[in-house]
Chains A and B, each alone.
Chain A
Amino acid sequence: MKVKIVMSYPSNRNRSKSRPLLEAVGISKNFGDFVANDDVSFSIHAGEIHALLGENGAGKSTFVKIAYGLLRPDIGQLFWNGEPVFINGPQQARKLGIGMVFQHFSLFDALTVAENIQLAMPPGETMASLSSRISSISKEYGIGVDPNARIYNLSVGQQQRVEIIRCLLQDPKLLIMDEPTSVLTPQETEQLFSVLRRFADNGLAVLFISHKLDEIRALTSRATVLRRGQNVGSVAIKGQTNSKLAEMMIGNKVKNVARQNAPAKSKLLFEVKNLYRPKDSAFSVTLRGISIAANAGEIFGIAGIAGNGQDELMSALIGEWRGADSGIIFLDGVDVSQKNPAERRVADMGFIPEERNGHAAVPSMSLADNALLTSHSIVELVRRGVLDLSSMKAKAGAIVKDFDVRLPVVNPLASSLSGGNLQKFVVGREIIKVPKVLIVSQPTWGVDVGAAVFIRKAMLDLAAKGSAVVMISQDLEEIFAISHRIAVLHDGILSDAKPAGILTAEKVGLLMGGSDAVGGVNI
């Protein structure tokens, strides 16, 4: 067996020329009105490392869940070794020879590696024989894992190896890896890559899901690019530049979206100076020296792919997380670094976090109760500690009316509203207060087109009234459509902001993929 490691894997070393291992033809999948996969066709051969590339929400996860039997396609057919198959569940997928390593692991911390693996195996095998099989597999592929180690003692990279071994013991022909590098250090990533290359040498097919262009270029031979649920092309990686791939991923139509004119030189309303935040778990990101300066009348767009520090930045801006230092976050010249979210609202800030259910709103409560959530410290809804129920109802009613929230019943619980309508309520609750500074994250995530247009217009109107809006979004089209200036968040570092007019989607896409994000960012 060859163990030589090459950076760029030759495209057809072990590839069977005859028929693909897995072929998908015309796969479509809708969730309600949302089209997750639209006529996706795709094939992968034995011995091939194939990338599935696309932005968040492009339909990658839906597609692999269909391939792994977790979802059924609405239309379309899967072929396994040329035979049509209907995969009714993960068990059947494994029986065919499809293994999958998920982004988040399902391991029991208190058990050993071998015990965790035993849980997933058919019953009947002794622990001793399992341990020896684990050892031989780890030796074969150079995956160093001690079968007797307890999970809580393992690093995230080692835990991932346990998941990989668990798949390998079922003798798969195709291994699906869902964003495996998002939790790894660069060194662990390189180790993972050499393991994956050895798999391919042994004739195993690997479907590698990622949006990191450099990794894809280093590891894979072919890439299938999804955009808005459609396959926009399967290409050989050789000869593709990062910018070409970025353009495929993001599309070039965004270049043509009419942008707002930047406002004339105006007052600085919101400033973040050199915000540092150490990561608090293996799955989070360290924020490294974030600086933001947003002016009155401006929408300051922060682009970037999920998992690059958006959640950490958002909670620091809201004040849910506060560092030890003062002098970091300023609202119209006033230092709010040590203020909690309620105090920041009193200082005239508004916040719309990404997650509606359980963060921006309490699903089990009425809209009147939810109206109070971000207003209890400001308006006269509470008199000497007693709730003014009729004022709360009136306030909720005003939001519902002004922001066209469609209610399924009179006085509904927040949980019974559709996603788009609850989002309109959550957005309206902040905008109706006309805050000096509005911080939003993913304002139109998972809402229908009509609601998205409405919400974007509301934010533009707010900016036109002289407020500053900071918008974190992974939707580049949205960023380009309404931002006046754009910065890119990658791996906890925010690039310098540039006027939207002089940026192209391609350049932003490169920054999002991590190309030349370090050092002085050249745009």
Chain B
Amino acid sequence: MISMTPRKDISLYRTFLTPLVAILLTLVIGAAIFDFLGFNPLESLYHFFVAPISRYDGIGDLFVKACPLIITATGLVFCYRANVWNIGAEGQLVLGAIFAGGVALAFPDWPAITLMPAMILASVIGGICWAMIPALLKVRFNTNEILVSLMLTYVAALFIDWLVRGPWRDPMSFGFPLTKMYTDAALIHRIEVPFIGMLGQLHWGVVGALMLSLVGAFLLSRTILGYKVRVMGDAPRAGRFAGFNPNLITIGVMAIAGGAAGLAGMIEVSASMGQLQPNVSFGYGFTAIIVAFLARLNPVGVIFAGLIVALAELGGDNAQIVLGMPKVVTGVFKGILLFMLLAGETYNRYQIEWRRVGPQSALREQ
């Protein structure tokens, strides 16, 4: 039997070493798999990890890919730290995109100075509305937020699908399920770096994402709000003893996560698509869950975890294009990477021992 006991001390040395070991192990296992499938292992690894960021453009694209993950995961960190299991960020992201899109389409004449804040506000409200459904049901009827938030993801996906095929479809789109293009004021522009120029797709939303993570880190570790979240997650009974209202905290963290996801949806559409379409998210809301845990539920860690996951995604795309590697193989490789990182994290937190015990079950042990 494997027994896991929490470590008393989290050693700094182990904290930095295990992710490196995890990545090294991933490279070894990945190389073996690539070799087995008839790909040159070193070349494959090069196209996975090095080629995507070997040019300035690639680095910019990496940040762009990580942008929605970082924003969404920062919000989710609050939920998970409070032991509220919101896994419906994907739906909240879609609702944010819809709300912002509604504003953009309704006020095409507004200048950016008013339209952009209005869209940001609308996206946050949209995400919060969607997150409030599982939150209020949990608080009022003690429903399971995992199920409700997950189910609402599919409702959101079908809702946007209906909108862009039905009432919001551009009459000039020749039947394609697309809304009108946003006006220029509703678009997020690319960053022009002095002396270098454009860095691929790098846009101002990325700057917003990085700032949001830092704000999240401050909120969580240095404010009474974050303190309440941490206490409620670590020791709910102590939270009630302190006089914190568990229901308000549940609603609060769901609002933070929903608002962040909604904002990510708005940025994704305004920076990369320019109009609403049936798929505004490519599973960002789900991938963000992995990012949040990879970051040990730390908002600053979310930036690094978001970049690692984005690199695996970009590398996977690149390997498919350049080497003709099947999509499932790149998926397996990404899976191994995440598994190794999370296993390393578990090893960091727990003392793992093999213990020999008799065949009786724990129940019969009593």
Interface presence of B240 (CB below 8 A): yes
Interface bits B336-366 vs A (CB < 8 Å: 1, else 0):
0000000000000000000000101101111
Interface presence of B3 (CB below 8 A): no
Complex interface: chain A residues within 8 A of B140 (CB): none
Q: Which residues of chain A from 324 to 347 have a CB within 8 Å of any chain B CB?
A: 340-345
- Minimum CB–CB distance for A347 against chain B, Å: 12
The verdict on A358 contacting B238 (CB below 8 Å), with A89-B358, A91-B358, A91-B364 known, is yes
Complex interface: chain B residues within 8 A of A102 (CB): 366
Interface presence of B273 (CB below 8 A): no
Interface presence of B223 (CB below 8 A): yes
Whether B243 and A387, one on each chain, are in contact in the complex, defined by CB atoms closer than 8 angstroms, is: no
Interface presence of A133 (CB below 8 A): no
Interface presence of A362 (CB below 8 A): yes
Complex interface: chain B residues within 8 A of A32 (CB): none
A374 to B230, CA, bound (A): 15
Whether B240 and A362, one on each chain, are in contact in the complex, defined by CB atoms closer than 8 angstroms, is: no
- Minimum CB–CB distance for B105 against chain A, Å: 37
Among listed A213-221, A364-372, A458-466, A500-508, interface-contacting one: A364-372
Whether B227 and A372, one on each chain, are in contact in the complex, defined by CB atoms closer than 8 angstroms, is: yes
Whether A358 and B358, one on each chain, are in contact in the complex, defined by CB atoms closer than 8 angstroms, is: no
Q: Which residues of chain B from 296 to 341 have a CB within 8 Å of any chain A CB?
A: none
Q: Which residues of chain A from 293 to 322 have a CB within 8 Å of any chain B CB?
A: 318-320
Whether B358 and A119, one on each chain, are in contact in the complex, defined by CB atoms closer than 8 angstroms, is: no
What is the interface of chain B mostly: helix, strand, loop, or mixed? Answer: helix
Interface presence of A156 (CB below 8 A): no
Complex interface: chain B residues within 8 A of A75 (CB): none
Whether A320 and B240, one on each chain, are in contact in the complex, defined by CB atoms closer than 8 angstroms, is: yes
A233 to B241, CA, bound (A): 42
A342: nearest residue on chain B (CB-CB)? B243
Whether B358 and A373, one on each chain, are in contact in the complex, defined by CB atoms closer than 8 angstroms, is: no
A93 to B91, CA, bound (A): 55
Whether B241 and A386, one on each chain, are in contact in the complex, defined by CB atoms closer than 8 angstroms, is: no
Interface presence of A2 (CB below 8 A): no
Interface bits A192-231 vs B (CB < 8 Å: 1, else 0):
0000000000000000000000000000000000000000
Find A342's partner among B230, B234, B238, B242 (CB 8 Å cutoff). B242
Interface bits A341-363 vs B (CB < 8 Å: 1, else 0):
11111000001010100111111
- Minimum CB–CB distance for A442 against chain B, Å: 15
Whether B243 and A345, one on each chain, are in contact in the complex, defined by CB atoms closer than 8 angstroms, is: yes
Whether B238 and A376, one on each chain, are in contact in the complex, defined by CB atoms closer than 8 angstroms, is: no
Interface presence of A191 (CB below 8 A): no
The verdict on A365 contacting B242 (CB below 8 Å), with A91-B360, A416-B8 known, is no
- Minimum CB–CB distance for B228 against chain A, Å: 8
Interface bits A382-413 vs B (CB < 8 Å: 1, else 0):
10011101000000000000000000000000
A351: nearest residue on chain B (CB-CB)? B241
Find B234's partner among A106, A359, A364 (CB 8 Å cutoff). A364
Query: 18 A-B contacts, Cβ less than 8 Å apart?
Result: A91-B358, A91-B360, A119-B363, A318-B241, A319-B243, A320-B241, A340-B245, A341-B242, A341-B243, A359-B241, A361-B235, A362-B231, A364-B234, A365-B230, A385-B223, A386-B222, A387-B223, A415-B8
10 closest A-B pairs by CB: A342-B243, A341-B243, A362-B235, A358-B235, A364-B234, A359-B237, A340-B243, A373-B242, A362-B238, A382-B224
